[in-house]
Amino acid sequence: MQKITKVVIPVAGFGTRFLPATKAMPKEMLTVVDKPVIQYVVEEAVASGIKDVILVTGASKRAVEDHFDYNYELQNWLKKQGKHEVRKEIKKIADMANFIYIRQKGPYGNGTPVLCAEKVIGNEPFAVLWGDEFFYGRQPRLSQLIKVYEKYTDPVLAAYRVTKQDATKYGMLDATKIEKNVYQVKKLVEKPGPEKTPSTLASIGGYILTPDIFDALRKTKLGKGGELWLPDAIYNLSKKRPIYACELEGTQYDAGSKLGYLKANIDYSLRDPKLKKDVTKYLKSIKL
């Protein structure tokens, strides 16, 4: 069985929910405390054993590429200033993984960037993470998914328990539990609402996919908004092979939404030993 060593991270979106902040800056470069969101995503992938990080970019995403590159001028300046710890942190960003950049071509939709990575992936299983969602927990999200894949060798979706009211925001899973935290997926119902949701298990960003997803994507008709959707291709693939879901343990942050982004900044500032005391003091001083 081939190990999962590659991850595809689409970062070509416009970030419309954060306009005007994202007019000239990629949404993935918005910072949570002192690191851009995309760095948290990559660090999580690397902690799960990923070696090759494939970033599918667009014309306005040069800052993402630059962030994971060596900036020798900055490193030399930090060295001269005696800021050796900061210089090491900057260098470590580029050393984390082998970074590969692909420009997105094709129709809009989250299936297109995955299909664009086919030649780099080849005939091997791989992971997909979104560039504006990350996870905090005892075990990285991707590690949890990989464990399920290694047992069943079929595609695995990330699932997260939400309230019924949240069923207006997510694709919800109709699935059968087969062991602790593992489900076999019957179907994915897109944003059904609290009255029609088949469960409280939401499908969130995070997938282990097999290479037959590429053929499924090519055969999938354009869906909502005339876009190519990865969930539609996964549904088509489910007619030929089992699809599993792993209910994740930990905390998910959707930094692509304003509330999720604010929550991430509050939580991570409280986890920072240099900030915790002052942030706690400030939060207690607010009269809500």
**Residue 24 — pLDDT band, cuts 50, 70, 90?**
confident
Six token digits for residue 111 = 């299936």
CATH architecture of 6-285: Alpha-Beta Complex (3.90)
Does 208 score more than 90 pLDDT? yes
DSSP string of 148-208?
A: HHHHH-S-EEEEEE--GGGGGTSEEEEEEEEETTEEEEEEEEES--TTT-S-SEEEEEEEE
Instruction: Please report the pLDDT score of residue 18 as a whole number.
Output: 86
40-51 average pLDDT score: 95
Crossing angle of helices 72-80 and 84-95, in 10° steps, is 160
DSSP string of 196-249?
A: T-S-SEEEEEEEEE-TTHHHHHHHSPP-GGG---HHHHHHHHTTTS--EEEE--
12-30 average pLDDT score: 86
Q: How far apart are CA 89 and CA 98, in angstroms?
A: 17
Q: Exposed, middle or buried: residue 273 (CB in 10 Å: 0-12, 13-18, 19+)?
A: exposed
Instruction: Please report the pLDDT score of residue 215 as a whole number.
Output: 93
**Residue 70 — pLDDT band, cuts 50, 70, 90?**
confident
Q: How far apart are CA 274 and CA 272, in angstroms?
A: 5
Q: How far apart are CA 253 and CA 251, in angstroms?
A: 7
**Is there a contact between 220 and 115 (Cβ–Cβ < 8 Å)?**
no
* CA atoms within 13 A of residue 21's CA, in its CB half-sphere: 11
Does 14 score more than 80 pLDDT? no
Average pLDDT, the chain: 91
**Residue 188 — pLDDT band, cuts 50, 70, 90?**
confident
Instruction: Please report the pLDDT score of residue 108 as a whole number.
Output: 83
* CA atoms within 13 A of residue 103's CA, in its CB half-sphere: 5
| Phi, then psi, of 159 in degrees rounded to 5 | -125, 150
Q: Is the pTM of this model over 0.85?
A: yes
Domain boundaries along the sequence of the chain: 6-285
Instruction: Please report the pLDDT score of residue 171 as a whole number.
Output: 83
Kind and range of the H or E run holding 100: strand 98-103
Rg (CA), the chain: 20
The pLDDT tens digits of the residues spanning 162-173 come to: 888 888 888 889
Instruction: Please report the pLDDT score of residue 90 as a whole number.
Output: 86
**Residue 10 — pLDDT band, cuts 50, 70, 90?**
very high
**Residue 253 — pLDDT band, cuts 50, 70, 90?**
very high
